[in-house]
Every structure is written in C-alpha cells, then in structure tokens.
C-alpha cells in the first residue's frame, strides 16, 4: 500500500509525473491517449499510474469516453459588463450541449503568470475537454498564449495591444497553434462607425478618454481612434485614463474643463469615451460646469450598459454583441473538439474572428453648436 493510500489521500497527476520523471502535461497526454508520446515514456507513465493507483478526478465517465464533458473557463475583467455578459452566453451554450463549466476568476491587479499556470494545472487534474480564456489585459493574453496545454483552447481577446498578434503566435508551440481559436469584438469597426456619425454632425474637434493602456480593448479602440481622426481631419486630444471608472473620468474631465476655462481656448464639440462608465463621469462634470449636452458639447460612450438610455440626456453609445461573442467562443470550442461546423464571421483581422458592435444613437449626440 502506498503512502498516499495510507494517508487516505488520493494521489495527484503531479505525483505521477514526479514518479515517472516527466511533466504533468505528458501525464495528461498519456491519460488522453495522445499520439505525441513515445512508447517508452507512455509505458513509464502507465507504470507510475498503476503503482500510485491514480485516477483522474472525473473518474469512470472520463476514463470510459476519454471525455469529461467539462469546459475549463479562466476569465478576467469580472467587474465589467462585457466579460459578465460573455460568460453568461458561454454557460448557456455549454448547458445546451450538456457540458459542464468549471470556472476560475482572475483579478487584474493581482494577476501573475504562475497563478494562471496553477489554474490550468487544476483544470488538467479535472481532465477538462477544452479551455476558454477571457483575457482582457496584455498580461493575461500572454499567459494564455504561452501556457502549454494538450487540449484545445479558445482565447477571447482584442486585436491590438502591447502584445501584437504575431508575437503572441510565436509564444505558442506549433501543436498548440493548431488547437487554438481566437475571437473578439470588432472594436475597429465600431470606432469607424462612431467617427462617421460624429462627422455627419459636423464635429471636427474632439476629446477622447482612453481606457487603461494594458487592456487590449482599450488599446484597440485608442489606436483606431487616432488613425480614424487623422483620416477624417478631426482635431483630437487624447486623455489617458488608468482605469475604466467613472470617478477617474469625472476628475480628469473637471481638470480639462478648468484648463480650458483658464486658458480661454476653444472647447471640443464632442467627447468620446472608451466605455460608458467614463461617459457617466464626463456627463457629471459637464453638468456641474453648466455645459449643456448636446447643445454645447456632445458625448458618446461604448458598451451600452444597463441604464445608458436613462441618463440625462440618454447616451449615444456602442452596443457590442457580447452574447454573440460568448456563443462564438463556445462554437469554436465545439469545432476544435470535432463537434461543430466552422464559424463564419462577418469580419476577421490578425487571425481573430470578429463579432459586430452596433452604434446606438440617442440624445447625447447633436450637431456642432452654432458659434
């Protein structure tokens, strides 16, 4: 009888790996009958499994079918509207296909690659069939690309950021690239729609509040905004925020308005924000400075959060199709598992399948004020 059994503790995959002198990923590949293991190594791992009397966590069902019918989801950005909406859709599709979800949540301020790796190890122990990674920041995206897992993975992210898509691809092993799909929201297309709309209203002077620079959605929106502003001859000033919070946007907008008042320079005719929470802060600052919306300055947001249509005035904003994003992510997972057709996207860029976002026009956007 082994020490593990004497202690009443079930042995782990890591103990099998240690006894066999291999990595836990190799143990996982042997359990799942992957062809990417040499006969000698396979024999050594199986001997360790027998010696330790090791069984994967999902026991008889997984061993019989080589499938656990479980999807491992690792997600960041859980304070925000978009990720929560996306996860809700993912769970709905999984349930419709009789799949279980095992979920681990990440905190952006405390994130470390080792924490991400530990979550993946835990899912390996559960013998999940596939991984879904919601990676809003560059650090999380890099970890999702770099981690060596033997199962299919779907990464939900944006096309631009401090880590380019080409550099991300180089982080993956060749086999991992073949088992990876990437999906995201068409941020660039949404910003193009915003620019076209404010142009039709005659706006040529704009203030843009950018989201935190290490968030890939924020980076994509800002890069698109800068390029589109240049193409449409819109004089744009960018205010870089370190968070998505209304309180920071409120403070920064107050500072900008105070500077305009002190210098006597001309105010922008429209403020565009990287999310709706920032727009809330901007609107408060404008009201407190007795600046009318949209008669004096128009405001445009992004996300169409609950209550955006109840602001004063109701907020013009972008409505990303987060439900479609979550559905597409699960469909990609099913495809990689051999259980679905290839997803057709309206657009794609840099290897990322893109889900559209709809521009919703409300009363916060109006024509350029008459001088």
How far apart (Å, rounded) are the C-alpha atoms in residues 144 and 168? Answer: 9
Q: Determine the structural domain holding residue 138 and report its residue range.
A: 65-185+322-355
pLDDT above 60 (res 9): yes
CATH number reported for the structural domain that contains residue 139 in this entry: 3.40.50.2300
Same domain, 172 and 92: yes
pTM of the entire predicted model: 0.81
How far apart (Å, rounded) are the C-alpha atoms in residues 322 and 290? Answer: 35
Residue 362: inside a domain, yes or no? no
Q: Which of 49-53, 79-83, 101-105, 122-126 has the lowest mean pLDDT?
A: 79-83
Same domain, 73 and 168: yes
Same domain, 242 and 308: yes
| Residue 77: band (very low, low, confident or very high) from pLDDT cuts 50, 70, 90 | confident
Domain count, the chain: 3
Mean pLDDT of the chain, nearest integer: 89
Q: Is 8 exposed, middle or buried (0-12, 13-18, 19+ CB in 10 A)?
A: exposed
pLDDT at 83 (0 to 100): 86
pLDDT digits (tens, 9 = 90+) for 115-159: 999 999 889 888 899 999 999 999 999 999 999 888 899 999 999
pLDDT above 50 (res 4): no
Same domain, 196 and 301: yes
pLDDT above 60 (res 39): yes
CATH number reported for the structural domain that contains residue 45 in this entry: 1.10.260.40
Taking alpha carbons only, the member of 198, 216, 227, 224 closest to residue 299 is 198
Please compute the mean of the pLDDT values over residues 40-44 and round it to a whole number: 90
Same domain, 96 and 20: no
Neighbours of 347 (CB within 10 A): 12
Same domain, 306 and 332: no
Residue 361: inside a domain, yes or no? no
pLDDT at 181 (0 to 100): 95
pLDDT at 216 (0 to 100): 96
SS3 334: helix
Q: Could you tell me the strand order of the sheet in which 205-210 lies? A: 235-240, 205-210, 270-273, 298-300
């Amino acid at each position: 009888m082994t020490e593990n059994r004497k202690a009443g503790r079930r042995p782990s995959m890591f103990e099998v790996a240690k006894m066999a002198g291999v990595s836990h990923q190799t143990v996982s590949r042997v359990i799942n009958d992957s062809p990417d293991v040499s006969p000698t190594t396979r024999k050594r791992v199986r001997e360790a499994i027998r010696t330790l009397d090791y069984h994967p966590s999902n026991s008889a069902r997984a061993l019989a079918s080589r499938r656990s019918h479980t999807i491992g989801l690792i997600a960041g950005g859980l304070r925000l509207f978009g990720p929560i909406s996306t996860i809700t859709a993912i769970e709905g599709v999984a349930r419709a296909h009789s799949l279980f979800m095992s979920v681990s949540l990440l905190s952006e301020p405390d994130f470390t690659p080792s924490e991400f790796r530990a979550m993946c190890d835990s899912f390996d122990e559960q013998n999940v069939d596939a991984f879904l990674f919601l990676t809003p920041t560059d650090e999380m995206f890099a970890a999702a690309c770099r981690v060596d897992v033997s199962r299919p993975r779907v990464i939900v992210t944006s096309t631009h950021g401090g880590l380019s898509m080409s550099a991300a691809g180089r982080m993956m092993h060749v086999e991992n690239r073949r088992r990876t799909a990437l999906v995201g929201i068409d941020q660039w297309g949404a910003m193009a729609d915003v620019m076209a709309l404010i142009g039709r209203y005659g706006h040529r002077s704009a203030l843009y509040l950018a989201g935190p620079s290490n968030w890939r959605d924020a980076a994509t929106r800002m890069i698109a905004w800068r390029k589109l502003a240049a193409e449409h001859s819109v004089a744009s000033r960018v205010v870089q925020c370190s968070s998505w919070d209304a309180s920071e946007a409120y403070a920064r907008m107050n500072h900008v308005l105070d500077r305009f008042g002190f210098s006597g320079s001309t105010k922008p005719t429209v403020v565009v924000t990287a999310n709706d929470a920032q727009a809330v802060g901007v609107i408060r600052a404008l009201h407190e400075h007795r600046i009318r919306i949209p008669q004096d300055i128009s405001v445009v947001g992004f996300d169409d959060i609950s209550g955006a249509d109840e602001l004063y005035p109701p907020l013009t904003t972008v409505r990303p199709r987060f439900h479609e994003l979550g559905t597409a992510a699960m469909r990609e997972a099913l495809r990689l598992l051999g259980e679905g057709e290839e997803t057709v996207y309206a657009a794609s860029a840099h290897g990322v399948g893109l889900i559209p976002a709809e521009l919703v026009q409300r009363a916060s956007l109006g024509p350029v004020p008459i001088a």
